Amino acid sequence: MENLNENELSPLSSLDVWEDDVLKRYPETGPAKKKEEFRNYDSPEIDGVREFYRLNHKYQTYDNVLAKKANFLKFDKMEMPWWKAMEFLNTLVDDSDPDISLDQLQHLLQTAEAIRADGYPDWFILTGFIHDLGKVLCLFGEPQWNVVGDTFPVGCAFSDKIVYPEFFAANPDIHDERFNTKYGVYSHHCGLDNVHMSWGHDEYLYHLTKDYLPEPALYMIRYHSFYSQHREQAYNHLLNAHDREMFEWVDKFNPYDLYSKSPKAPVVSELKPYYEDLIAKYLPATVKL
């Protein structure tokens, strides 16, 4: 990959801009906005979002994914208690952004508390609490478009249901006959466990937690940004029956991820003992990042 300048590393003013963009595309009630409406909405962030996806779609190649897995799945960058890692995530807050009033930890607590209030199992609550921890990739020098963004399979043709599909014209994989067909390196209903997804915080956290959490939680973590599938069903040809069953949990999770934000900040000191106990129940004492 060529050397990247600062604008290519961070086209968004903050990672929350991507999440706000998802909310515009997929409102809680009513039909989702048409793509032409999304592209033309009046927002000062639209240029950053477009540039983000231009870079994401250009550089999220099959080889990029394999290289990132080889690097980051060694988990040799640092080791710390899980709660400390959640606090580490707070350093991503952009103090210059006037729209961000809550830190990352508070956002995650809001998600988890909304799940808790609806009476779901404790592993589901824990999933809501940690689901964005993979964004620490930014703190290890990863560009934003290799951390957040809608996720999608690599190694096969890119669906036109992915946001801004025209930007894939710059991706070299579309000219590689191994990767540019409907199935590419995969086969009919091969199952998502056999599919390489674009690199980002979802895939990274999945590998951090795959030995500790129930399978529904792992699907929530790994595929919560796979909007072209759980909103558009664009990759049904790759899913197997077990994937379709597990995606019911992804569908349960996403409203909490997208719609639980509130300007009222949770009281972290009051909630910390509960979540530390929950972490201790399911996860090892420290996390290797």
Residue 122: pLDDT above 60? yes
Which residues, 6+ apart, have CB-to-CB distance to 13 below 8 Å?
45, 48, 94, 96, 97
Q: Is residue 1 part of a domain?
A: no
**Residue 58 falls inside a structural domain:** yes
In a domain, 156, yes or no: yes
| Two tokens, residue 162 | 């992915």
In a domain, 175, yes or no: yes
The confidence score (pLDDT) of residue 107 equals 84
Q: Is residue 210 part of a domain?
A: yes
Q: DSSP letters of 157-213?
A: PPPTTSSSGGGGGG-GGGG-TTTSSSSTTS-TT--GGGSPBPPSHHHHHHHHHTTTS
CA pair distance 92, 136, nearest whole angstrom: 8
Mean pLDDT of the chain: 89
Cα R_g (the chain), whole angstroms: 18
Q: What is the pLDDT of residue 40?
A: 39
pLDDT of residue 50 exceeding 60, the answer is yes
Of 213, 209, 250, the residue nearest 73 (C-alpha): 209
Look up the domain containing 250 and give its range.
6-288
Output the pLDDT for position 93. 55
Decide if pLDDT at 191 tops 90. Answer: yes
DSSP secondary structure code for residue 153 in this structure: B
In a domain, 95, yes or no: yes
Distance CA 200, CA 145 (A): 8
Reported as a single tens digit per residue, the pLDDT across 75-89 is 999 999 999 999 998
Closest CA to 256 of 122, 151, 128, 150: 128
The pair phi, psi for residue 190, each rounded to 5°, is -70, -20
Q: pLDDT class for 94, splitting at 50, 70, 90?
A: very low
Given this model, what pLDDT does residue 33 score? 47
- Total Cβ atoms within 10 A of residue 184: 22
Beta-strand (E) ranges in the chain? 79-81, 286-288
Per the structure, how many domains does the chain have? Answer: 1
The mean pLDDT of 276-287, rounded to a whole number, is 97
Could you tell me which of 24, 6, 17 has the C-alpha nearest to residue 45?
17
Show Cβ contacts of residue 211 under 8 Å, excluding neighbours closer than 6 positions: none
